[in-house]
Structure 1
């Protein structure tokens, strides 16, 4: 007799596909991966990422009221940027730099307690070259709609194994930049 395995519900399948896209994005920095959400709906992408990463054992912060209402359903705790494990910014302006600068960097004893930044952007604009684990040589990307201060602050505070993991989101596409990845602007 062939064992019967239960089928995924639509929500489970959606979350699984999102998880796989995020996993591969963080495993291969600089490669674009597609989420199972509408092409141009960045909010839906952020909601899918939240549904995938958040549960009652982790915390998050977002300045976006609409996204916050959705993320509250995950049973994750909403905390200040200095305490949250995940920071969701569907759009990033100069006025958000102070909040981003508060993000946890981890400690030498617990580097895994650093924050993951999920940042809305476009994949055009400033050329950036990535190097490090998961990158075969170099990985050139272009990123727009993010203030230069985001990259400046990341480089000032990155002391591997400390630092932020970053997930860039443009529409339904993501690029992962783990804290182990070096960036060069221009």
Structure 2
């Protein structure tokens, strides 16, 4: 087993996971705000610090994970399983967490779990790497947790992102939640958030 499997986990798992959990929950309750998660964890590429910390905090033996680019993420998958116990699946439809690639195609997102009317919480959370948290085209957010509207401008979103999210929001209470990550920062976009290009 490669040494990268062992390195990069939380130095203090209890306190680090508590801090990250609170930061992620705050970000989900206030969509569009930037959560600074710090460099508490750093798994092998393509995991950034934010994705590493989120997965170590939220994924465990009962929450399977799927990596969109399995040929490029073998070290990251082994690292995650070693540190969290989370199984890495080959079937995306059964994953609780999905690490998308930076070349993802929104047309392929229909395969991910969106929950059921009886259990809407049985849906996937997508983690989407972007080039930057700002500096891209502006998106206007409205919905729960946003008093009037909020604007974000992440750079490196896949083509058709806003349209795909509109379809997702229309399925509420079903639908997936998504977290944009870059470096040690993250922006949460729950399924209730309406996203419009401006």
Alignment of 1:17-56 (within 5 A): 17-37=19-39, 43-56=48-61
Of the three residues 68, 78, 85, the one matched with 1:75 is 85
Alignment of 1:30-179 (within 5 A): 30-37=32-39, 43-62=48-67, 63=69, 64-73=73-82, 74-79=84-89, 80-89=91-100, 91-94=101-104, 96-97=105-106, 99-121=108-130, 122-123=132-133, 124-158=135-169, 159-179=171-191
Measured in 1, the distance between the counterparts of 2:103 and 2:172 equals 26
- Give the strand-richer structure, 1 or 2: 1
Taking only aligned residues, the RMSD between alpha carbons, in angstroms, comes to: 2.1
Cα shift at 1:177 = 0.7
Equivalenced residues, count: 175
What TM-score comes out, normalization by structure 2 length? Answer: 0.80
Structure 1 alignment gaps of length 5 or more: 1-8
Structure 2 alignment gaps of length 5 or more: 1-10
What TM-score comes out, normalization by structure 1 length? Answer: 0.85
Between 1:67-76 and 1:112-121, the stretch displaced more is: 67-76
Cα shift at 1:98 = 5.2
